[in-house]
Chains A and B, each alone.
Chain A
């Protein structure tokens, strides 16, 4: 069964939506000044934050008081993705049976800001003062739960945690649900947020020293998937077709090694995805916008190992910063632009004239996880 991507959304460091994502890729948009972290503790914070973020614009003024930043990102992104696919009318899902919709969301860290806040209350005040309406936000899947409640989706709902490659794992699961007939459609995406705890953890791990250009980023997005035959039957806009997917894991050579930029994991995932698609090669490879050079090079090396050096490799979202589970969302959104947007192709070094028919998308996680997708150009350009 061929799976089609019929809608998408992206909330990213250049704004909300594909238009601003495009401007970011083209270098025509600038990043906002860091404002989320307390300046007394993080005087020179290197963060790429979603600019002018106003959830009320998407969620209305009421009904999201208990949401944390991640939940607001995800709820807004789900709504925008459904709208892009013309599946939301009069404030509600309009695509048919809501029990036939799966919601699969990826995050590497979840709501660390909320965990820290509730723990601060427990530590500095009293455990009895933990906020009972906000404590559930500390459970990793809470954000996806709120999205399902808002949109009324009663199909399978799970959150995938797999570092930077959760999106790829989630896409595989969504495909399984659609192919089995358990659902007709799936929202697959995820998000990540800038938080004190995450920034501090990265600082302690030496991330900012190792990589002078490293910036912690944030954002969210969703892709809407359904069987290509069903999408065609209802005359939906098909942005791309998912021809193959695979994930792989390569353990580090030494047990004590914490991080593992494994080109081998990338090549195994890519080989599996190509076999799944029944293809031997593709027209170009899209990397996942790594925040660290060593991982970007591992992605590149893994792709070359399978496809040789003649297939162009591009990294359209390289300037977005490291947003962990959200980075592949920015990159995959960018990949869909490459099919139809000559100016973007030109800007990323793919050559503007001939649009690619097939793209391989690869993403590598920091512990040795990798995923690969094979995309085929759909008949429609991205929807606004």
Chain B
């Protein structure tokens, strides 16, 4: 089976407008959460979010073409641009371009454009809706626009599984390279759902934190005081290449991706299965795929959204998968404590973070962990401060509505 390596990363997140800027912010333990500015949140139960601050779509498309797309597309284009540039990947021939795939997931479609146009429709009638309504909203247009941006002509589509979309997309790109369908891919996720309906919908489900007076400490995975997740937005992309060709062209290899596991709870649309059984199966499948013993893992980038139920179920799943290693040398952190929950982009951002963790030997912390939940006892949750540590093998988890679970295993390249 062909091996797959990561040669570039890109990210636009609440913590920065590049992967490097975001990662450094995380290592400083900074929260990217603030009061919502993208709309007036006054009447909403939750008024905080992880917004990408000061994002200018004109950095990726011409001014006159901004209205043809939407925020989730532009964020993806920015992150992809960074990943491709950083990797130095530059296929020259048509045949090479034909063998580069684009896999970009999203949980919602272009929801802000949908809302804007629906508002126009309700207030001013159907004839005033933008002719770009459809191309700006459909989910696969992030992948489509990124393909066009770079001329990549291999498979180009959107894998969507709510909050595990980014993980699924990277996993499928990894398999396609392994199988020889393609030689390289840009893969990841994007989301821009900090909108009245996005926030209102999750708030109606009572899924969001209401710590409106203290946004920086609102996302607190594994802490007793957690009261829901903080919605966020952004995009993250990894540049994946077949290992031999990456070495041949002299690429800098940040990490190797060695395992992918996916499962479904078949239990409840929005609640995790008891004991985190579905998540555990995804982790086991990924570890089995990687052919690495659980005792060799150094780090888990947890899904850890800061919800009362989900965090505990994930810890139970980690305990069941890693056995004695879970509480003996295995670092587990939730970077959502700082970024908030990027929904369909979360798995991709956390894949980028995990890659940089391995490449830099620095583990980002779980912040706001002041009073760990009883069930967290014995776990090394890397509380509140980043840690220097060699990470040889790591796993990143993503779980989503619909009961979908994805785990990806990353390894130090050798």
Contact = CB atoms under 8 A, between A and B. Distances in A.
Given A158-B160, A249-B102, A249-B147, A204 B129 contact: yes
Interface string A227-255: 00000000000000000001111111001
B200 interface: yes
B283 interface: no
Interface string A176-211: 100110100000000000000110111111000000
A149 interface: yes
Interface in A82-112: 98-99, 103, 108-110
Among A108, A182, A249: residue with most chain B CB under 10 A:
A249
Given A119-B114, A120-B118, A127-B203, A156 B264 contact: yes
A144 interface: yes
A136 B107 contact: no
Contacts of B165: 141
Given A123-B122, A128-B45, A141-B401, A248 B107 contact: no
A258 B141 CA distance: 10
B121 A126 contact: no
A297 interface: no
B263 A158 contact: no
A155 interface: yes
Interface in B200-223: 200-206
Contacts of B266: 98, 148-149, 151-154
Nearest to A157: B264
Given A98-B266, A151-B266, A158-B168, A247 B157 contact: yes
A127 B118 contact: no
A354 interface: no
Given A120-B118, A127-B43, A154-B263, A163 B138 contact: yes
A80 B270 CA distance: 26
B176 interface: yes
Contact of B148 (A108, A144, A201, A251): A251
21 contacts: A108-B140, A119-B197, A120-B122, A122-B200, A123-B196, A126-B43, A127-B204, A136-B205, A139-B162, A141-B107, A141-B401, A145-B269, A154-B264, A158-B172, A159-B159, A160-B160, A161-B139, A162-B158, A251-B153, A268-B153, A369-B144
B84 to A, nearest CB: 15
A148 B148 CA distance: 35
Contacts of A156: 262-264
A131 B204 contact: yes
Contacts of A166: 140, 157
B403 interface: yes
Question: 5 closest Cβ contacts across the A-B interface?
Answer: A145-B402, A127-B200, A162-B157, A156-B262, A157-B264
Interface of B: 43-45, 65, 68, 98, 102, 106-109, 111, 114-115, 118-119, 121-122, 126, 129-135, 138-141, 143-144, 147-148, 151-162, 165, 168, 172, 175-176, 179, 181, 196-197, 199-206, 261-270, 278, 281, 285, 289, 400-404
A173 interface: yes
A294 interface: no
Nearest to B150: A251
A135 B231 CA distance: 15
Interface string A133-150: 001101111101110110
A141 B122 contact: no
Given A163-B140, A256-B65, A145 B401 contact: yes
A268 B68 contact: no
A283 interface: no
Among A103, A136, A155, A179: residue with most chain B CB under 10 A:
A136
Nearest to A71: B269
Contacts of A169: 155, 157
Contact of A201 (B68, B133, B143, B268): B133
Contact of A251 (B151, B204, B261, B404): B151
Nearest to B1: A180
A333 interface: no
Interface string A286-320: 00000000000000000000000000000000000
Given A135-B201, A148-B402, A154-B265, A116 B118 contact: yes
Contacts of B176: 172, 176
Contacts, number: 254
Nearest to A152: B266
A342 interface: no
A124 interface: yes
Contacts of A154: 263-266, 278, 281
Main secondary structure of the interface of B (DSSP, over half): mixed
Contacts of B131: 204-205
Nearest to A248: B153
A359 B161 CA distance: 32
Given A136-B401, A268-B98, A118 B263 contact: no
A132 interface: yes
Given A115-B109, A162-B157, 4 more contacts: A128-B204, A158-B160, A247-B154, A249-B144
A140 B160 contact: yes
Contacts of B119: 123
A367 interface: yes
B237 to A, nearest CB: 17
Given A159-B161, A249-B154, A140 B109 contact: yes
B264 A132 contact: no
Nearest to A115: B114
A141 B172 CA distance: 16
A127 B46 CA distance: 11
A155 B263 contact: yes
Given A122-B200, A158-B404, A255-B148, A249 B268 contact: no
A108 to B, nearest CB: 6
B145 to A, nearest CB: 9
A248 B197 contact: no
A173 B176 CA distance: 8
Interface in A323-350: none
Contacts of B201: 118, 122, 127, 130, 132, 135, 138
A44 to B, nearest CB: 14
Nearest to B172: A173
A39 interface: no
A148 B153 contact: no
A138 B111 CA distance: 10
A222 to B, nearest CB: 15
Given A142-B401, A145-B404, A115 B160 contact: no
Given A136-B205, A256-B65, A258-B68, A161 B157 contact: yes
A246 B180 CA distance: 12
A173 B115 CA distance: 32
Contacts of A135: 201-202, 204-205
B140 A149 contact: no
B196 A204 contact: no
